[in-house]
Amino acid sequence: MPTVHLSLPDATYRELKKRAGEMGIQVTDLIKLYIKIGLDRGFSSSGKEDSEAVAHLASKVEKMEREYRIKMTILEGKYRQLEEMLTYILERVDSIEDLVTSARSMSNVVERPAVYEEG
C-alpha cells in the first residue's frame, strides 16, 4: 500500500485528532474516510459546485458525528445500568453466602447433642 506524507497546520491536526477521538478511530482512518467521501462525491470544475460538495460532505460528517454521540450516550447509560445490576447481584450473593454460613453454624449446633457425664 502506498504511503503519503502530509503536512498539516497544528490547528487542523488537533481538530482531526479531536473528531477521530470522538468517533473512536485513528486520525489516519478519519483522513482516509474524508478522502473516500471526497472521491465518491467528486469535485467539479466550478468553484460553486465544489463549495456545495464540501458543504454536503461537512453536513454528512456532522450527521455521522451526532449519530455517534447519541449511540455513545446510550451505550454509556446501558453500561452504567449493567454495572449497577452487577453490583446489586454481588451484594445479594454476599448476603446469601452469609445466610448459608449462618445456617450451617446453626445446624452444627443442633446436630451435636449435649453430652452429660454422670459423676
Is residue 115 assigned to a domain?
A: no
**What is the pLDDT, as a whole number, of residue 57?**
81
Total of domains in the chain:
1
Is residue 50 assigned to a domain?
A: yes
Is residue 108 assigned to a domain?
A: no
pTM of the full structure: 0.43
**What is the pLDDT, as a whole number, of residue 37?**
79
**What is the pLDDT, as a whole number, of residue 49?**
66
Which position has the grid cell 455521522? 64
Q: Which of 79, 86, 60, 49 is nearest to 68 (CA)?
A: 60
**What is the pLDDT, as a whole number, of residue 90?**
96
Is residue 27 assigned to a domain?
A: yes
Domain that holds residue 76: 10-81
**What is the pLDDT, as a whole number, of residue 110?**
63
Is residue 113 assigned to a domain?
A: no
Is residue 61 assigned to a domain?
A: yes
**What is the pLDDT, as a whole number, of residue 114?**
58
- Which residues, 6+ apart, have CB-to-CB distance to 33 below 8 Å? 25
Spatial contact of 22 and 69, defined as CB atoms under 8 Å apart? yes
**What is the pLDDT, as a whole number, of residue 35?**
85
Is residue 4 assigned to a domain?
A: no
Mean pLDDT by 10 residues, the chain (119 residues): 88 91 87 82 61 79 88 93 96 95 81 61
